[in-house]
Amino acid sequence: MTLRKKRLHASALLVALVGLLLITAGCDNPVRTRAQPVDDPTPSDNWPDDVTWTHVWGDEFDYQGALNGSKWTFETGGGGWGNQELQYYTDRRENTRVDGDHLIIEARRESYGGNQYTSARINSAASWTYGRFEIRARLPEGLGTWPALWMLASQDTYGDAYWPDNGEIDIMEHVGYDPGIVHATVHTEAYNHADGTEVGASKQVPDATDAFNVYAIEWTPDEIRAYVNGEQYFSFANERQVSSSATYEEWPFDKPFHLLMNIAVGGTWGGAQGVNPDAFPATMAIDYVRVYQPESLVND
Alpha helices in the chain (DSSP H): 12-25, 267-270, 295-298
How many CA atoms are closer than 13 Å to the CA of 168, on its beta-carbon side?
27
Amino acid letter, residue 174 = H
Sign for the CA dihedral angle at 155, 158, 164, 169 comes to negative
Is-catalytic flag, 198? no
Measured in whole angstroms, the distance separating CA 7 from the mean position of its chain's CA atoms is 21
Of 173, 218, 231, 249, which is the active-site residue? 173
Residues 6+ apart with CB under 8 A from 65: 93, 97, 98
Q: Give me the sign of the Cα torsion angle 175, 203, 129, 104.
A: positive
75 is known as an active-site residue: no
Of 85, 106, 134, 168, which one is the catalytic site residue?
168
136, 214 Cβ separation under 8 angstroms? yes
Q: Please count the CA atoms within 13 angstroms of the CA of 27 that sit on its side-chain side.
A: 8
Distance CA 41, CA 293 (A): 10
Residue 1, amino acid: M
Q: Could you list the active site residues?
A: 168, 173
